[in-house]
């Protein structure tokens, strides 16, 4: 056990702070022990243009999650005990040590990736840090993207300083009641606000190389059906607090899946009128750095196949 991996002893990596003894194979809220499991690694073309570019983002999808949204699109990588309808024992996911993760990053770089994109990695932070240190020592120089739900402890994010170049974060909820209903996390807004603050402390301004982001914070606002006003409040808060230091990505791609279908709101897609209302609100604030979606992005075909494959 390394000193970094001792953080698994009584785990407080995420806001749940459940103190699970993950080194002893006890699982906490994330339902993961201390051994990282991967659902997929590949070049990914469906991130924002400044992340995917023309060759793709080198994405590494980690299994498990500290948030557990009931509408999760990556549910095949989430244990069924956390999200009903999720994977069962995750037989399609593969384990990876810090050394194996480091080697994987280099393989993705050699395959042409513009960056290394670590998706939902918070609960494996000790291995992430060790693997990035090893990869940097082996010559990894392309940007590292930390891709997160936004449900993070600022103290944990601080451990990534100097290793992460781009924070690609969601800001899902402004209201504790919504966060409780959909993610069993009424404290989400408080933690997400502190997380954004820490991300911008590390990466205070966007840095570009041609059309590709090299450093900065990109915040995703996923519009949920029936929640335009809350999304407007989220954008207003973030722009008032941080202005053009943030890059916004305003998403209409919510995809209704079978399980939330009984919810009168989550059982449908976002309407064009709802999305246009949110975009007009962002424009009225004077936001300049933002991505918006055109056409139909709410399709299951945009959800990767999480088969445990290493596609590079």
272-303 tens-digit pLDDT: 999 999 999 999 999 989 999 876 554 443 44
> Residue 73 domain-assigned?
yes
* Helix, strand, coil abundance in the chain, percent, nearest 5: 35, 20, 45
Q: Are 306 and 92 in contact (CB under 8 A)?
A: yes
> Residue 21 domain-assigned?
no
Q: How confident is the model at residue 271 (pLDDT cuts 50, 70, 90)?
A: very high
Cβ neighbours of residue 101 closer than 8 Å, sequence gap 6 or more: 36, 60, 127, 128, 131, 135
pTM as predicted = 0.93
Is pLDDT larger for residue 75 or for residue 290? 290
Instruction: Output the DSSP codes for 47-111.
Output: S-HHHHTTT-EEEEEES--SS--TT-TTGGGSBTTTSTTSBSS-TT-EE--HHHHHHHHHHHHHT
> Residue 7 domain-assigned?
no
The domain of 194 spans 31-302
- Paired strand residues for 170: 220
Cβ neighbours of residue 163 closer than 8 Å, sequence gap 6 or more: 129, 132, 133, 136, 144
Looking at residues 26-44, what average pLDDT do you find?
93
CATH number of the domain at 109, please: 3.20.20.70
- Paired strand residues for 113: none
> Residue 23 domain-assigned?
no
Q: How confident is the model at residue 306 (pLDDT cuts 50, 70, 90)?
A: very low
Helices 176-183, 188-202: crossing angle, 10 deg rounding: 100
> Residue 205 domain-assigned?
yes
Looking at residues 63-69, what average pLDDT do you find?
93
pLDDT of residue 303: 46
Is pLDDT larger for residue 295 or for residue 179? 179
Looking at residues 103-108, what average pLDDT do you find?
98
> Residue 5 domain-assigned?
no
pLDDT of residue 3: 87
- Cα–Cα dist 312/258, whole Å: 32
What integer best gives the mean pLDDT of the chain? 91
> Residue 3 domain-assigned?
no
pLDDT of residue 53: 97
> Residue 10 domain-assigned?
no
Residue with tokens 């793709």, as numbered in its chain = 56
Looking at residues 104-111, what average pLDDT do you find?
98
When divided into structural domains, the chain yields a total of: 1
205-219 pLDDT, tens digit each: 999 999 999 999 999
Q: Are 155 and 12 in contact (CB under 8 A)?
A: no
Q: Where are the beta strands (DSSP E) in the chain?
A: 37-44, 57-62, 94-95, 116-119, 144-148, 166-170, 207-209, 212-222, 246-251, 290-292, 309-311
């Amino acid at each position: 056990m390394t000193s970094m991996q001792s953080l698994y002893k009584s785990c407080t990596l995420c806001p749940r702070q459940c103190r699970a003894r993950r080194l002893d194979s006890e699982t906490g809220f994330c339902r993961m022990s201390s051994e990282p499991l991967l659902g997929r690694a590949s070049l990914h073309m469906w991130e924002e243009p400044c992340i995917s570019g023309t060759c793709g983002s080198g994405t590494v999808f980690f299994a498990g999650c500290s948030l557990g949204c009931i509408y999760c699109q990556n549910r095949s990588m989430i244990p069924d005990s956390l999200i009903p309808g999720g994977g069962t024992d995750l037989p399609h996911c593969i384990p990876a040590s810090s050394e194996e993760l480091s080697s994987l990053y280099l393989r993705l770089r050699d395959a042409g990736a513009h960056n290394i994109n670590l998706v939902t990695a918070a609960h494996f932070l000790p291995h992430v840090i060790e693997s990035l240190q090893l990869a940097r020592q082996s010559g990894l120089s392309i940007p590292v993207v930390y891709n997160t739900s936004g449900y993070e402890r600022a103290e944990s994010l601080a451990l990534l300083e100097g290793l992460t170049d781009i924070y690609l974060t969601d800001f899902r909820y402004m209201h504790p009641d919504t966060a409780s209903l959909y993610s069993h996390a009424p404290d989400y807004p408080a933690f997400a606000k502190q997380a954004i603050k820490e991300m911008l402390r590390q990466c205070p301004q966007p840095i570009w190389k041609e059309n590709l982001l090299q450093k900065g914070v990109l915040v995703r606002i996923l519009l949920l059906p029936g929640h335009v006003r809350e999304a407007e409040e989220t954008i207003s808060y973030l722009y008032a607090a941080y202005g053009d230091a943030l890059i916004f990505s305003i998403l209409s791609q919510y995809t209704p899946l079978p399980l939330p279908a009984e919810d009168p709101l989550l059982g449908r897609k976002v309407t064009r009128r709802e999305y246009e209302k949110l975009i007009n609100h962002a424009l009225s604030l004077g936001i300049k750095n933002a991505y918006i979606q055109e056409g139909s992005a709410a399709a299951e075909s945009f959800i990767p196949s999480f088969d445990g494959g290493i596609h590079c």
